[in-house]
Chain A
Amino acid sequence: MRFNTRFIAGCLLVACAGWPLSGCGLSALSDDPDTLYASALRASLDQEHTESARAAFHYMKSTNPDNVRYDRAEKLLAQNVEALGLDYAASLFYLDIAESRRDVRLVGDAVGALERLLRRDGYDQMTLRDGFLARAEITGLAPNERAFVAYHQGLDSLRNNLMDWATERFSQIPKTSPYRHRAEYALIIHSLATYELDEVLERLEVLSQAEDLPDDLSNEIHRTLGRIGFEQKRFDDALREYELIRHTATDDPSLLLEMAWSNYYLGNYQRALGLLVALDAPAYSGLIAPERYLLEALSLEQLCQFEPARIAATRLRARHGHALDDLHAGTPLRESSAIRAAARHRESGRAPADFRRHMRHEAAKFAEIREQFGPQLAQHLDQIYAHGLQEAERREDAQLFGQMREVSEELLTAEEGVRLVLHELAVSVLRGRERDQADPLYRNIEVPVGGDSVFYKFDGEFWTDEVDNLIVPLEDRCVE
């Protein structure tokens, strides 16, 4: 038998060159379930995540859910895809372990993993929280996981106005658990509906003093205290609370706006203007807060800077012209990218938007490493991500619409407000520069030569550690 050696050599070269891209490059998996499981375990220990996930998945396929190791294999699968950054797929595998309770010893681990994933943004709220954690009967958990589940279930009861069951669930949270504070905060916020503000304030103050308060919760408490202060026109108090959490402002432009309003009402127009300038940071470009321009115009008007005030008011259109044009053209909201982007910044719109963004991100990440999972697991993950992405988009479409309506209404109201402000400014010019409100807190800002504070001139670049420190030292041109 004659071999065409040239042909063989060529084939081998091609085969070798294409190895990383083909199944040929993946290790062959044993048909023996025990061996499969062992290799999955070992690869996991060696942090060979794709290999471990592939082996675990094959193990699961080679046996049935009644198998004693089925859930362990699924746990390995979940752990490894999580390690690869595929949180969505991991969360679903953990969910299956926790929900099926085939191996009750793993339920706690799975719930613990879900707790970890829920702390990250962009998880599947509907499936994980609403479909399982907040409602299912999950027993036999260790204190930490029990606290986590009790918190979510209590919260869900609270949302359904089932107060007794909510408190019953919250009472099961150990005193040492951080969820204890979260539960207390949820109860306080729920009691806000009664408008017993004094009582609410007292409880919030006590809670804010608690030790081991998680940072995010501490921020929320201070923000709530600030908002109540603002609501009650105690602007100094409101600002004091905002100041405590303003280091988080880089993640939360709405806090800047709330601070700006408080400063405005206190007559501290230069500071209010500085905070508004901060909102121009590129990071907040998607934010649509039309009142920002009106507030800027009003602040400038208080300093009798009429022309800058007029320009500020007209900037609404310069900044959000696309969105306004869409509205005036009758473009369906879901088709307006500007309004959709703005709605994603809203508090109620963040969760579906985050979920969708993470799904896209993960799907892209999965596509990059897809081949390493082997055809079967890749196909399985294909389905998971195809469905997840579709569901995330469907959900965002459904849930974001209300936010888009709100944004649109605010934009159009602000557009009308701009007209009124411009008219008001015209009248102000006519009436002259007499001050029509209380004296401003600061007149003209003077930069001291010495002192504890250092002043820098803003050069147009926004830095996260400076963004909430800006002051606009515009001259007060009003006359007494």
Chain B
Amino acid sequence: MRRIGRGIWKLRAHAVRATLVFALLVGGAACATTGELDEPRDPPRVEKLRLQITKVRNAIDTTRRAVARGRGADYSPELYVRLAELLSEEARYHYQLAYEREQGASHSLTVPQVRLLKEDAIEIYERVLRDFPDNPLAPRVLFNIGQEQRELGNFEEMQAAMRRLVEQYPQSSLRHDALLVLGDYHFDKQDFGPADEYYAQIVKSDPNRHDGIAHYKRAWVRMNRGECKGALVEFERALDSAKAWDEKVAARAATQQGQHPSSEVVGTQQDIDVRRESLVDMAYCYSREKPFEGALTFFRDHSYNRASYLAGVSRLAARYRMMGKYAAAADTSRELLILGAANDLHLDDARSFYSALKQQKSYAQIGSDTRLIADMVFRYYSRPTIAAEERARLLSEFEVYTRDLLTSAQEALGKSPSDQPRPKAQVAQAASIAAGYGVYLDAFPQSEHRPEMLLNMAEVLSDAQQPFEAGRRASEAAGLLKEPASKQAALFDAVVYLQTSLQATRDPSKYRRVTARATLRQVGSELLGYTIAPEKARQVKFAIAQTFYDEGQYNQAIDRLTAVAYEFPQTPEADAAVQLTLDSYNTLNDFDGLMYASRRFLSEGSPVSAGLKGEVQGILAASEQRKLDELSLQAAGEDGSGLEQLIHFAEQNPGSEVGERALINAFVAARAVGDTAKVYEMANQLAEKYPQSEQLPGIYNSLAQTANTRFEFDQAIDYLKRAAQVNEGQRTLILAAAAELESELGRTASAQGTYETAARQSKEDARDIALSGLAILLERYKSAPEMVSALKAYKSSTEPEFQARLGLAYLASGDAEAAEAAFSTVLINEASASPGALGRAHYGMAELMRLTVETYPAPSDLEMLQELIALIDLTQQSYLQAARQGSPTMTAVSLSRLAVASEMAAKKFLNIRLPDSVSASDKKAIGDAMKVRSDGLMDAAKQALDACAEQAFSSYNFSRVVRNCMKGEKLKTIMIPMDPIKEDRSNPDGGFEKLRGELAKNPEDVERLETLGKHFFDKQHYHAARLVYKKAVDAGAGAVLLNELGRANEAVGDLGGALNAYALAADAGFKPARDNLAKVLNSYGLGEAARKFEARLDGSGEAEVK
């Protein structure tokens, strides 16, 4: 165990030693850099000076040897002067060496070498003057002697040398240097009179390089004498002269391309910037003698660069501070801060600036001034020479300055008047203070006064009419404040400011709007977390709710605004909340919501003030209308999908105007989309629920029209009659339309009844339409007495159609007098009469004439005979007049009856029995003449009948009269025979819904009309088919449908109509129509006419057929 232990110990001991060695090695290596080094020192200045002395001594030795060798040579004077100057140079080095050795302790040094060397130099200079009196170097030598004597303290000798130079060498450029030295000598002795004289000699000479400094010195002479005005003049001259000389030198340098002017090598080398020094030094007198206004401009104009300007202004600022002229001190300090670098001096300027502003209470530019002060600190305080503590102290110091300035400025601005806006100048001032606070907050983010400064800033921002920024700052302050009351106040201020910001309608900044709303919600919600006065809570809650409205979040806005309204009823906020709520619904196009909310706000327990209720009422009405409009618009779309909503809306608003309107719009929409069932349903609902609706007549009319376009005739007649019941004003017209439709369907009795009802219930001036329709109807279906019986009650009517037909009925009934009266009425009202009416009137007159002729007694003398002849002529003319009126029917009737009358007249002539008093020869002559006349009349009768028959070919008029004419049969009655339309007993209203629906949308769709017509015809609804085909033909259908129309006409009994249609279709080349035409004509015994027609259609002439 031990050995082992010893062994271990040995091992440990080795380890320790090894570790120690290692540690020492490492330590040694690490610390090796601390060993002694060969010091790479800088060569000291003393050494350099010694070296210079050695060099200059060598030069002196060389020069001495040259002087010795060159004695008597022309260049000897130069060598002497050179030697003296070298000695002087060595003296200067010795002096500098002594100065270095004394560590610059003093400039008054006793250095023997210097004196000896200078004396040697002077001696050499004297020798030159003595031995070479006319040498051009003499002025330079004299000047050097003067300088050496001066440096040796031998001022009398110095003056003597300089004066000698001035007097003996007036043209030398060194004269001015000498004068300057002399002037300076006296100036230094405060012997200002002689000094000024010497300087004056310089400035009175030609322009020279010392002009500027001479003026400058003269200025100082006057300063020392207390003559500030004079000093200022000289300073200004110094500035001008120096500038002029500098420009001259610059111009010369430009032309000499950098050659150094030789005259400046020798002479006084005063290291003084006259222009800068003049500016700086004149500040004293300037501040005393001149007003500050314009000072900065003056200094700037006379500064050749920024540094000289700042030097001058700096001195000026110091003067004004000392003089207590704080306004000027502030302005000059400001200029220094604007343009100056960051350093101790300008930091002091910042301090002075603060003091001046405070003293002067000058806060007009406080915003930018605060920035200047802060910037100066921040540009300065990062220097490594400034310790952390010093930096903190600086920050603290300037934080106080800026805070003090800003709060003082705010105090000076005063509180904002509560009831009126601030004047513009104050607004600008507030903005400036706010900008200053902005600088403060950026500059001192960690300031313990930050919350207070934020609140101050918010207040001035509000004064500056920048409520958004004010709100943000107040909000920021609230976030920093700990004390609940202060925090609450800040939060409330923020809400108010932000709300004001949002009320600015013309703020173009989206950032401000968006952020204001969001911030307002944040601070408002936080504020509501405290217990606050109800009035404030009301304002805050309303403001929050309003932000949702402003942001377009209308659903949220509605919830919150409604809540505000009910929580704070009968308050301005409640009213505003209600208005915004309703507007939100309106903007959302939520008219249901709008109506619901409006009704709620109008109901009992409403939060709305009485004044607003009227407005809400209006909104409700408008919303109902708009809702209705919207539903109507939707329902009137292509598919009518909104129809149910409209009906639902009507059901929700029963008995109201909008309910009625909704039904009407539903009706219109249903019709627009072709939903006939809905159309009828809506009409029925409207009639049932709103029987007094003014729209009902229109609805019925419209329905009738719809039914008509759908070819639902019973419905159409029914709605027309219902429309007539509720529309007194147009009753006659509507009933007449119904009667006309009935007439078309062959429902004669019903049509007559309807016409009569119309005529009975109409006012006198409105019933003409009914009477005319009635007369036309009766003419076709009734006998003359029946007509008279039915119409005589209205005989006072002057309606031409009516009177013409009544007249014929009277005539046919034997009441010629009444008939004549009726015809006269028509003819008197010729202008308003139709061709048919006029034709009938003339025809009636012709018939009256014919009756007269017929009853004319057999002529008993020539006179009577002549009268008879005249009567017959007149009768014929009357028929022809009737035929010419343009009515095809009356043309045929008149011609046919002309034939009757002519035949009757012809017979009358043949039956004339002349009295016995007439001679036989005369009798024979007259008899012959009568025969001829009778023959003529017979011939005319035939021609008239032919002309009547020809109507069939010329105008496809196949009326009963014409057909008879074609058979050679004349019209035997006065009354006009017509094809009676069979009465329609079918009801074609049902079926073909789709087809009808499509036709309702496009009533002139020929293809669908054809289909429907075919359907009707197939189902033996001939009347309906006839009307459909008529419609199709009117819409431009071709021969095929004309033929179909013919067939339908034939089926209902309108043979004339049928033949007319066939003829037209045949004329268009449609073969089946031609066949139909021929077939019908043949079946009615008109085979000849059929063949004639065929021939015409084939293009062959009548003669050929014969």
- What are the residues of chain B within 8 A of A409 when measuring CB–CB? 509-511
Contact of A42 among B30, B37, B387 (CB under 8 A): B37
Chain B residues 586 to 606 lying within 8 A of chain A, measured CB to CB, are none
Chain B window 27-51, contacts with chain A (Cβ cutoff 8 Å), 1 for yes, 0 for no: 0001111101111111000000000
Chain B window 247-288, contacts with chain A (Cβ cutoff 8 Å), 1 for yes, 0 for no: 000000000000000000000000000000000000000000
Query: Contact between A27 and B31 (Cβ–Cβ < 8 Å)?
Result: yes
Query: Contact between B306 and A162 (Cβ–Cβ < 8 Å)?
Result: yes
Contact of B522 among A42, A134, A330, A387 (CB under 8 A): A330
Given A39-B33, A168-B304, A330-B522, the answer on whether A394 and B340 have CB atoms closer than 8 Å is: no
Chain B residues 1 to 36 lying within 8 A of chain A, measured CB to CB, are 12-13, 15-16, 19-20, 22-23, 26, 30-34, 36
Query: Contact between A99 and B510 (Cβ–Cβ < 8 Å)?
Result: no
Query: Contact between A327 and B23 (Cβ–Cβ < 8 Å)?
Result: no
| Interface SS of chain B | helix
CA distance A25 to B339 in the complex (A): 50
Q: How far is the CB of A245 from chain B (nearest CB, A)?
A: 33
Does B748 make an interface contact (CB < 8 A)?
no
Query: Contact between A9 and B34 (Cβ–Cβ < 8 Å)?
Result: no
Contact of B383 among A42, A92, A157, A330 (CB under 8 A): A92
Query: Contact between A16 and B382 (Cβ–Cβ < 8 Å)?
Result: no
Query: Contact between B388 and A383 (Cβ–Cβ < 8 Å)?
Result: yes
Does A153 make an interface contact (CB < 8 A)?
yes
Query: Contact between A34 and B39 (Cβ–Cβ < 8 Å)?
Result: yes
- Interface centre among A5, A131, A165, by most B CB within 10 Å? A131
Q: How far is the CB of A347 from chain B (nearest CB, A)?
A: 19
- What are the residues of chain B within 8 A of A43 when measuring CB–CB? 33
Does B476 make an interface contact (CB < 8 A)?
yes
Q: How far is the CB of B1023 from chain A (nearest CB, A)?
A: 49
Contact of B384 among A28, A30, A89 (CB under 8 A): A89
Chain B window 509-522, contacts with chain A (Cβ cutoff 8 Å), 1 for yes, 0 for no: 11100110111011
Count of B interface residues, CB-CB < 8 Å: 59
Count of A interface residues, CB-CB < 8 Å: 72
Q: How far is the CB of B411 from chain A (nearest CB, A)?
A: 26
Contact of A136 among B343, B515, B522 (CB under 8 A): B343
CA distance A153 to B20 in the complex (A): 63
Query: Contact between A38 and B37 (Cβ–Cβ < 8 Å)?
Result: yes
Query: Contact between B521 and A330 (Cβ–Cβ < 8 Å)?
Result: yes
Q: How far is the CB of A15 from chain B (nearest CB, A)?
A: 7
CA distance A130 to B309 in the complex (A): 18
Does A87 make an interface contact (CB < 8 A)?
no
Q: How far is the CB of B138 from chain A (nearest CB, A)?
A: 37
Chain B window 668-679, contacts with chain A (Cβ cutoff 8 Å), 1 for yes, 0 for no: 000000000000
CA distance A25 to B32 in the complex (A): 11
Does B443 make an interface contact (CB < 8 A)?
yes
Query: Contact between B378 and A126 (Cβ–Cβ < 8 Å)?
Result: yes
Q: How far is the CB of B41 from chain A (nearest CB, A)?
A: 7
Does A349 make an interface contact (CB < 8 A)?
no
Query: Contact between B378 and A391 (Cβ–Cβ < 8 Å)?
Result: yes
Query: Contact between A127 and B33 (Cβ–Cβ < 8 Å)?
Result: no
CA distance A247 to B980 in the complex (A): 101
Query: Contact between A9 and B16 (Cβ–Cβ < 8 Å)?
Result: yes
Q: How far is the CB of B5 from chain A (nearest CB, A)?
A: 14
CA distance A157 to B510 in the complex (A): 37
- Chain B residue at minimum C-beta to C-beta distance from A383: B388
Contact of B382 among A35, A124, A412 (CB under 8 A): A124
Query: Contact between A13 and B19 (Cβ–Cβ < 8 Å)?
Result: yes
- Chain A residue at minimum C-beta to C-beta distance from B519: A330
Query: Contact between A127 and B521 (Cβ–Cβ < 8 Å)?
Result: no
Contact of A330 among B37, B40, B304, B515 (CB under 8 A): B515
Does A69 make an interface contact (CB < 8 A)?
yes
Query: Contact between B383 and A405 (Cβ–Cβ < 8 Å)?
Result: no
Query: Contact between B26 and A19 (Cβ–Cβ < 8 Å)?
Result: yes
- What are the residues of chain A within 8 A of B517 when measuring CB–CB? 330
Query: Contact between A394 and B442 (Cβ–Cβ < 8 Å)?
Result: yes
CA distance A328 to B548 in the complex (A): 12
Query: Contact between B41 and A165 (Cβ–Cβ < 8 Å)?
Result: no
- Chain A residue at minimum C-beta to C-beta distance from B38: A38
CA distance A127 to B379 in the complex (A): 4
Does B341 make an interface contact (CB < 8 A)?
yes
Chain B window 439-472, contacts with chain A (Cβ cutoff 8 Å), 1 for yes, 0 for no: 0001101000000000000000000000000001
- What are the residues of chain B within 8 A of A89 when measuring CB–CB? 384
Does A96 make an interface contact (CB < 8 A)?
yes
- What are the residues of chain B within 8 A of A51 when measuring CB–CB? 33
CA distance A268 to B686 in the complex (A): 63
CA distance A64 to B380 in the complex (A): 21
- What are the residues of chain B within 8 A of A115 when measuring CB–CB? none
Given A136-B343, A330-B518, A412-B510, the answer on whether A131 and B379 have CB atoms closer than 8 Å is: yes
- What are the residues of chain A within 8 A of B511 when measuring CB–CB? 327, 405, 408-409, 412
Contact of A130 among B39, B379, B383, B509 (CB under 8 A): B379
CA distance A153 to B339 in the complex (A): 10
Does B385 make an interface contact (CB < 8 A)?
yes
Does B391 make an interface contact (CB < 8 A)?
yes
- Chain B residue at minimum C-beta to C-beta distance from A136: B341
CA distance A455 to B756 in the complex (A): 94
Q: How far is the CB of A449 from chain B (nearest CB, A)?
A: 51
- What are the residues of chain A within 8 A of B340 when measuring CB–CB? 135
Does A191 make an interface contact (CB < 8 A)?
no
- What are the residues of chain B within 8 A of A395 when measuring CB–CB? 378
Query: Contact between B384 and A135 (Cβ–Cβ < 8 Å)?
Result: no
Chain B residues 511 to 548 lying within 8 A of chain A, measured CB to CB, are 511, 514-515, 517-519, 521-522
CA distance A35 to B35 in the complex (A): 10
Contact of B515 among A24, A42, A327 (CB under 8 A): A327
Q: How far is the CB of A43 from chain B (nearest CB, A)?
A: 8
Does A384 make an interface contact (CB < 8 A)?
yes
Q: How far is the CB of B428 from chain A (nearest CB, A)?
A: 21
- What are the residues of chain B within 8 A of A329 when measuring CB–CB? 518
- Chain B residue at minimum C-beta to C-beta distance from A45: B40
Does A132 make an interface contact (CB < 8 A)?
yes
Query: Contact between A38 and B342 (Cβ–Cβ < 8 Å)?
Result: no
Query: Contact between B305 and A131 (Cβ–Cβ < 8 Å)?
Result: no
Contact of A96 among B32, B39, B384 (CB under 8 A): B384
CA distance A106 to B390 in the complex (A): 27
CA distance A28 to B342 in the complex (A): 38
Given A27-B34, A412-B510, the answer on whether A16 and B40 have CB atoms closer than 8 Å is: no
CA distance A43 to B382 in the complex (A): 28
Query: Contact between A328 and B385 (Cβ–Cβ < 8 Å)?
Result: no
Does A196 make an interface contact (CB < 8 A)?
no
Query: Contact between A168 and B305 (Cβ–Cβ < 8 Å)?
Result: yes
- What are the residues of chain A within 8 A of B343 when measuring CB–CB? 99, 136
Query: Contact between B37 and A35 (Cβ–Cβ < 8 Å)?
Result: yes
Does A210 make an interface contact (CB < 8 A)?
no
Q: How far is the CB of A75 from chain B (nearest CB, A)?
A: 13
Q: List 12 A-B contacts (CB under 8 A).
A: A9-B16, A16-B23, A24-B30, A35-B37, A92-B384, A126-B375, A127-B383, A135-B341, A136-B343, A398-B443, A409-B511, A412-B514
In order of increasing CB-CB distance, the 9 nearest A-B pairs are A330-B518, A131-B379, A131-B342, A398-B442, A136-B341, A135-B341, A412-B510, A137-B307, A27-B33
| With A383-B387, A397-B442 already in contact, 17 other A-B pairs whose C-beta atoms are closer than 8 Å | A9-B16, A9-B19, A12-B19, A24-B30, A51-B33, A96-B384, A126-B375, A126-B382, A130-B375, A131-B380, A131-B382, A137-B310, A160-B338, A384-B384, A387-B391, A412-B514, A413-B510
Interface residues of B (CB under 8 A from A): 12-13, 15-16, 19-20, 22-23, 26, 30-34, 36-42, 304-307, 309-310, 338-343, 375, 378-380, 382-385, 387-388, 391, 442-443, 445, 472, 476, 509-511, 514-515, 517-519, 521-522
